[in-house]
Amino acid sequence: MKHLSIPLIKNLTEFTISLESMIDNIPMGISVVDRQRKIILINRSFEALTGFSKKEVIGISCGHILRSKQCIKNCPILTMDENSELACNESDIINKDRQLIPVRLNVASLKNVNGEIEGYIETIEDLRAIRELDTQIRHAFTFAHLIGHSPQMERIFKIIPVFAQSDSSVLITGETGTGKDMIAEAIHQASNRSKGTFVKINCGALPENLLESELFGHQKGSFTGAIENKPGRFRLAHNGTLYLTEIGDLPLTLQVKILTFLDDQVIHPIGSTKGFQANVRIIAGTHRNLEKMVKEGKFRADLLFRLNVVRIHLPPLRERENDTGLLLDHFLNLLNTKLNKKVRGLSVAALKTLHNYYYPGNVRELRNIIEYAMNVCQGNQVELEHLPTYLFGAKLIIEESVSNPESETTIYQTPPEVQETTRQSQTWSEMEKNMILDALSKARGKRSKAAEILGCGRSTLWRKIKKYKIM
């Protein structure tokens, strides 16, 4: 039990120091191994990183505990001699929680007074944070998860931190797929309320009576089926931000209740006699033209004035100069990793088609097109035939619709002539599900064959099957 005795450092200072307590305070995984690479000592950071405890690893070969690619393929200790310097390599480990973690491994020999190797010291640095930072640096033209270097987007990126600092209500408008939800979350994250919750509710997703209860909560017994008290989204967002998406779909009766809240900051749950003072910042988003709706009597003018304190309008992709190319590159890189593909780029013809397309579904549609093309493409370049067929039937960029002053009232509404293509692009999930079902049927249920037909790996197919709950 030589290894279990407490290791000490003598003669360094006046008192004997416990090596264990010293290395435990170092915020980097450290292990000390003997000449046979069996572990003698590890610190607390090593335990946290690998998931193995000190007690269980003593006397075990370090490769079995560290489980790094470096250990298995090219263990640096095997080639070390008395003259070797520190070995530093980047590799990865799989911890006990089955996570693959990128790490930097440093190995140095421990020599006795005669210069003979008695063991080795290894340090393991977790590179997850650095890798994440690298990704952020690569996205130089970004804010939160938004990407763009067009003047319109740069203006928005500059103004968001300013808007975030105030508590004023924000109205975000823009066509579908322009990133309204992302802007709302970015404002919350950049604000003083970021430690509070960000609660999102789709005003168009629920029937009126359910939506009221969902927003304001209810008291037990206030209506049939109210078997317990419900706090409501306003209360859940207390000290945080409430994002009302598709505010244009909010029924008129509820518009009055929101208006009341914006006036006195008090919410009244259904069936309750007491009000609750909620400290909530409201952000609303819509793809509808609220001014036009006010004229038509479908939206209250006073609510629009109260929401419209700070207004952010997100431009459609076709009006964002040169952003299509930047987003194309971004999605290619992102999806190469996600789909485990090696697509290097697009052919000139495919690029031309994408640059000339109208993008009624905006950035979301562009992403879906790239995802479709990369799923279909089996080589390393996306060709014209890999693009969805509906692109070739759709109208190309219509200069007049952008410059037409009449279009002012419909500036963030999808032009009717391209609404059909929006519908198609928004059901990409359905398309993908159908493609998987077709392939499975062609392959008579054999998933490896189906994966071959679809041009993806078996694991990717398995993930998609699980995602769409096909089995």
Is residue 219 a contact residue for other proteins (CB under 8 A)?
A: no
CB of 380 to other proteins, least distance (A): 20
Is residue 409 a contact residue for other proteins (CB under 8 A)?
A: no
CB of 29 to other proteins, least distance (A): 16
Task: Point out which span in 117-125, 278-286, 430-438, 452-460 binds other proteins (CB under 8 A).
Answer: 452-460
Nearer to other proteins, 12 or 48 (CB): 48
Binding mask 146-185 for other proteins (x = CB under 8 A): ----------------------------------------
Instruction: Kindly identify the residues of this chain, within the stretch 81-120, that bind other proteins according to CB under 8 A.
Output: 93-100
Nearer to other proteins, 35 or 458 (CB): 458
Is residue 60 a contact residue for other proteins (CB under 8 A)?
A: yes
Nearer to other proteins, 141 or 462 (CB): 462
Is residue 466 a contact residue for other proteins (CB under 8 A)?
A: yes
| List 65, 242, 247, 436, residue binding other proteins (CB under 8 A) | 65
CB of 234 to other proteins, least distance (A): 37
Give the list of residues 6+ apart from residue 453 with CB closer than 8 angstroms, or none. 439, 442, 443
Task: Point out which span in 68-76, 347-355, 357-365, 373-381 binds other proteins (CB under 8 A).
Answer: 68-76
Task: Point out which span in 125-133, 282-290, 354-362, 455-463 binds other proteins (CB under 8 A).
Answer: 455-463
| List 7, 20, 59, 272, residue binding other proteins (CB under 8 A) | 59
Nearer to other proteins, 59 or 204 (CB): 59
CB of 98 to other proteins, least distance (A): 4
CB of 53 to other proteins, least distance (A): 10
| List 141, 276, 462, 468, residue binding other proteins (CB under 8 A) | 462
CB of 120 to other proteins, least distance (A): 17
Nearer to other proteins, 100 or 301 (CB): 100
Nearer to other proteins, 94 or 270 (CB): 94
As a whole number of angstroms, the distance between CA 373 and CA 371 comes to 5
Nearer to other proteins, 1 or 113 (CB): 1
Is residue 342 a contact residue for other proteins (CB under 8 A)?
A: no
Nearer to other proteins, 138 or 463 (CB): 463
Long-range pairs for 113-121: beta carbons < 8 A, 24 or more residues apart: 115/82, 116/82, 117/35, 117/80, 117/81, 117/82, 118/34, 118/35, 119/32, 119/33, 119/34, 119/35, 119/40, 120/32, 120/33, 120/37, 120/77, 120/80, 121/30, 121/31, 121/32, 121/33
What number of chain residues touch other proteins (CB under 8 A)? 27
Nearer to other proteins, 72 or 210 (CB): 72
| List 73, 195, 274, 469, residue binding other proteins (CB under 8 A) | 73
Site residues (vs other proteins, CB under 8 A): 56-57, 59-61, 63-65, 67, 69, 71-73, 93-100, 448, 457-459, 462, 466
